[in-house]
Amino acid sequence: MTAVTGRAEEKPCLHRTWAIAASALLALPAFAALTGEAVALPPPKGLKPARPPSLARSCMITPTELEPLFGGKADPRRQMEDESSDDEEEDDDEDSIPGLILPGSATCLSVSGTVSAGLQNDSVRASRSVSLPQSSLTSFPTSASIRIATSHDLASGLRVGSAFSFTMQNPVDDVAGLTLDEATVLVGPWIFGLDTSRFSFWTGDEFIFSTRVPSRTVGLLALELPLTETWIATLAMEDPALGTTSTLPVAAGRMPDGVARLVYQSGPWTLHGALALRDIPGRNSRLGRAGILGATYETEMLGRPSSITAQIAGAVDAAPYIGSQLDAAVVRTVLLGSDPTRGFSTALVMRREWTDEIATNFYVSRYQLSVPLIDQAKGKISIDRAAANLVWTPVEGLKAGIEASVAQARISLTGRQVAAGLAGRLISTQVFIERAF
């Protein structure tokens, strides 16, 4: 009897234990509300805890880094210098583009661009071949460019990317106000699409006049391979006929142009050399050829950063490969794609940063082209240019300044109509402001 009674009395005790535990669980939210302390409860069996909401993260689109084909032993002193300056290089790398990784994606997306406006005055004095008095014109040029880029690193280490950019500006001389500047796809060392020629070196980005003239774009298929840590080789097939902003008329050849480029970058030096071959169809088909050598040296003068750039290019039956964008904009109006040509172009550029906010740029250039036509004596086109500007950059992404340039063009082509103002002297002055985002 005693044993039975003892087992009967254990049941109420067990019920009271469960009741106390249940009451404690029910009282936890009220206790948390009173004390302000968060109480973590285990999730119900079979249910997973809720994930925190994913937000867009910042990222950087950097140039593709490939292993050199001919790797040598690293210099210990150079390696120590590189390690000590890694942080500074990450902050100062102008080729890196900030972007965002969107939720649910591993692709870095970047949207950037510039908006510029200015007040420009052009003073034109025509040559003797065009009987026009000196004239002056004031305009208000505005432009905006947008660039959209993506980058995605696969698990294998292969990088896949794309880029699309266009420029909008007020139309001038029946030139379209909207131009496509770039539409490319990048797969590792390969790049194909629409882009600027790999033959070009100095493009005049420091000068507002040059940036407002559409660059020469071509249909492109290129392979870029680093030979060593300082030498990079590029092999490209280019089709000028596919370019949307080609500044010179070209005859469509039976095959794309071939371009080979070699670039050296080390310390203050950048060296650039390229060769181009193009097929020119016709009754007597011929092979056009062009070559370019360019160099940039960056140094400090009187304790402030400075640089000097020089280039020289020559071409035979390949006029689109020489001269600047401004020169090509003049020559395109009088030259035909089938014309035989022979010429060269040179440029010397200097930059000086006087303070952290104020810098000056200066350049002189020479463009000369001979056109040996059948029905006349040898024709000639020559253009001399000089330009200088003063740029003020109070904050990153905002700059303003004043720029002046003078150009002297001499065109002697019998039987070709020369538009008023092309042959003669042009003096331009512009006050501008530009905002990058």
- pLDDT tens for residues 359-383? 999 999 999 998 876 555 568 889 9
Torsion of CA 262, 264, 269, 270, to 10 degrees: 40
Structural domain includes residue 76: yes
What's the CATH number where 324 sits?
A: 2.40.160.10
Structural domain includes residue 47: no
Residue 271 and residue 372 in one domain: yes
Task: Please tell me the predicted confidence (pLDDT) of residue 382.
Answer: 92
Structural domain includes residue 50: no
User: What whole-number distance in Å separates Cα of residue 257 and Cα of residue 250?
Assistant: 11
Residue 9 and residue 149 in one domain: no
Q: Tens digit of pLDDT for each residue in 115-173?
A: 999 999 988 876 654 445 556 788 898 889 999 999 998 888 889 999 999 988 876 54
Q: Which domain holds residue 35?
A: 1-40
Structural domain includes residue 72: yes
Torsion of CA 114, 117, 121, 124, to 10 degrees: 40
Q: Decide which of 263 and 396 is more confident.
A: 263
Residue 30 and residue 73 in one domain: no
Structural domain includes residue 51: no
Structural domain includes residue 123: yes
User: What whole-number distance in Å separates Cα of residue 164 and Cα of residue 183?
Assistant: 4
Look at the chain and report how many structural domains it folds into: 2
Task: Please tell me the predicted confidence (pLDDT) of residue 25.
Answer: 42
Residue 6 and residue 134 in one domain: no
Task: Please tell me the predicted confidence (pLDDT) of residue 131.
Answer: 47
Structural domain includes residue 46: no
Best CA proximity match to 277, nearest among 261, 293, 264, 295: 261
Structural domain includes residue 315: yes
Residue 247 and residue 100 in one domain: yes
Compute the average pLDDT of residues 290-312: 94
Residue 264 and residue 125 in one domain: yes
Q: Which of 21-30, 184-193, 299-308, 367-376 has the lowest mean pLDDT?
A: 21-30
Residue 355, helix vs strand vs coil: coil
Residue 221 and residue 302 in one domain: yes
When pLDDT is cut at 50, 70 and 90, the band that residue 21 belongs to is very low
Buried b (16+ CB within 10 A) or exposed e, 185-204: ebebeebbbbbbbbbbbbeb
Q: In terms of C-beta density within 10 A (0-12 exposed, 13-18 middle, 19 or more buried), how is residue 215 classed?
A: buried
